[in-house]
Chain A
Amino acid sequence: MTEFWWVYLWPVLWIVIKILLLVVPLLIGVAYLTYAERKVIGAMHLRRGPNVVGPYGLLQPIADGMKLFFKETIIPTGANKVVFLVAPMLTFSLALIAWAVIPVGNGLVIANINVGVLYLFAISSLGVYGVLMAGWSSNSKYAFLGGLRSAAQMVSYEVSMGFIIITVLLVAGSLNLSDIVRAQQETIWFVVPLFPMAVIFFITTLAETNRHPFDMPEAEAELVSGYNVEYSAMTFALFFLGEYANMILMAGMTTILFLGGWLPILDVAPFNWIPGPIWFALKMAFVLFIFLWVRATFPRYRYDQLMRLGWKVFLPISLAAVVIVGGIVVAFDINPLGR
């Protein structure tokens, strides 16, 4: 019996505990990201933002969640029921499972796999299915147009995103996310040598998460709310949470690839007393702030301009960067991990 406990049950239980330790703060982060978005944009518009529910409006996300939870889930008669219900679940679960490989601190990762970057890339490329399925199964023209736009947009920007990730991999010499951060510990945060790539990566993450100024799939002025127009109550809430969890995920990816993950700003006394996960969260908060800042600043792109930017500007630049960075890495024998 004790063997059964130590060999089978305990590892499973331990994994469940680790998952909970990661997912619970993540979901709280998602809830308060919506609050932060409203507060930050409010401040930028010279408004106050939510300030009624709780002190400083801090209970607003909980109130919103309760409201969505108690509303009725309406399924349109013309909808394809199974696909309609699977779509939000898929979006939400994909946003969560990607976190399995994110190292929030030195060694603090659920699955330290050797192809971590590829896993993240694969999961983020699956995100398009939630939107596509929702758009098709709703049997509504607005939702359908939103779904089509989203598919084209996400596939286009994935290409240049992949090339930018390759430049980072070339410099770091590893596909393991923890090793990429350690390579930055040995040298310098990759945002310094690869600054143009970091900027393009950030812009592609905006397009990948369907955020402003690339929120074509849910452009409320043309498509009402795009792919999620037929969704109500918890089905809508799952889309909403998935979208924000994806934003946090992309911020985490930017942090790991370019901003040195869990590393402190300077490796000197007051800074390296602060534990790694806190640095990681601070850096993600910084990237997320830029997400919100962009939303408050820029008007929406027109669809053909969006495609032009993806295919005619970012793709050639990132492709050239792979060649140039690869050449430099070989010429100067850059190998931060010493392998």
Chain B
Amino acid sequence: MVIQALAFYLFSIITVVAAVMVISARNPVHSVLFLILAFFNSAGLFVLLGAEFLAMVMVVVYVGAVAVLFMFVVMMLDVNIAELRQGFLQYLPLGGIVGLVLLMELAVVAGGFVFSPEVSERFAAPIPVPSDIANTEALGNIIYTKYVYFFQAAGIILLVAMIGAIVLTHRSREGTRKQRISNQVNRRPEDTIEIKKVSTGSGI
């Protein structure tokens, strides 16, 4: 138990510090790196809670895919650090108000939060031993049966977002040269090679 508590404090302290560094770091690439650190440590917190599937998915999805794309974009920005410093005070009031509104909303939501009666009944039930039923299995059983419509809806939203992103950004430029594998495969020697008999001493 002591080791778990120590691990909890380690992970949570690093998460909080990294999260603060995300918004306070001057260099955007450093911000993304701190964001990754925060994601990674919150995955550690999930492991401590016994939610190992969520932890791994957190690392695969957020750290392995989303943050890579962030990094990809941010690395290519040409950032002037002095300019960033100027903008900080200018945007502070607006950003502060937005942050405050969000904080108030969070407080309201957290204040009015109650468990549904169905869930509170479950608290009394004995917690299954983790070795009996795998975390992933339990999650799969509930997602694909009880919440299947929500699951499908989430999938469709992601699909729409994906198609939207492609439609918005894709443009076919003129004059680009593309490799068409089918054309290359369908080429026959007869179409392209002409064999000529050349008599000695004269050209074609």
A residues in contact with B179, CB < 8 Å: 304-305, 308
Given A83-B29, A114-B134, do A151 and B68 touch, yes or no (CB 8 Å)?
yes
B residues in contact with A126, CB < 8 Å: 59, 63-64
B53 to chain A: closest residue by CB:
A115
A residues in contact with B181, CB < 8 Å: 308
Given the complex of chains A and B, what is the CA–CA distance between A102 and B181 in angstroms? 40
Given A126-B64, A305-B179, do A118 and B56 touch, yes or no (CB 8 Å)?
yes
**A241 within 8 Å of B by Cβ?**
no
**A128 within 8 Å of B by Cβ?**
yes
Number of interface residues of A (CB under 8 A): 33
B residues in contact with A308, CB < 8 Å: 179, 181
Given the complex of chains A and B, what is the CA–CA distance between A162 and B64 in angstroms? 12
Q: Which of A62-96 contact B (CB under 8 A)?
A: 80, 83
**A223 within 8 Å of B by Cβ?**
no
Min Cβ gap A254→B in Å is 19
B136 near A128 (CB under 8 angstroms)?
Answer: no
Tier of interface size on chain B: 20 to 34
Min Cβ gap A152→B in Å is 8
Min Cβ gap A127→B in Å is 9
B56 near A122 (CB under 8 angstroms)?
Answer: yes
A154 to chain B: closest residue by CB:
B68
B residues in contact with A83, CB < 8 Å: 29-30, 33
A residues in contact with B52, CB < 8 Å: 113-115
A residues in contact with B30, CB < 8 Å: 83
A118 near B60 (CB under 8 angstroms)?
Answer: yes
Given the complex of chains A and B, what is the CA–CA distance between A327 and B189 in angstroms? 44
Known: A118-B60, A174-B134. 8 other contacts (CB 8 A): A8-B3, A113-B52, A115-B52, A125-B63, A148-B72, A148-B76, A152-B72, A155-B65
Partner of A121, one of B29, B36, B60: B60
A115 near B56 (CB under 8 angstroms)?
Answer: yes
Q: Which residues of A contact B (CB under 8 A)?
A: 8, 80, 83, 113-115, 118-119, 121-123, 125-126, 128-129, 132-133, 135-136, 144, 147-148, 151-152, 155, 158, 162, 174-176, 304-305, 308
| In the complex, per-residue mask of B70-81: 1 if CB is within 8 Å of any chain A CB, else 0 | 011001100000
B135 near A132 (CB under 8 angstroms)?
Answer: no
Partner of A118, one of B53, B68, B75: B53
**B160 within 8 Å of A by Cβ?**
no
| In the complex, per-residue mask of B118-160: 1 if CB is within 8 Å of any chain A CB, else 0 | 0000000000000000111000000000000000000000000
Given A118-B53, A125-B60, A175-B134, do A136 and B75 touch, yes or no (CB 8 Å)?
yes
Given A114-B134, A148-B72, A305-B179, do A133 and B33 touch, yes or no (CB 8 Å)?
yes
Given the complex of chains A and B, what is the CA–CA distance between A83 and B57 in angstroms? 26
When A and B form their complex, which 5 residue pairs have the shortest distance between CB atoms, in order from nearest? A125-B64, A118-B56, A122-B59, A114-B134, A122-B60
| In the complex, per-residue mask of B180-203: 1 if CB is within 8 Å of any chain A CB, else 0 | 010000000000000000000000
A residues in contact with B33, CB < 8 Å: 83, 133
Partner of B68, one of A128, A175, A176: A128
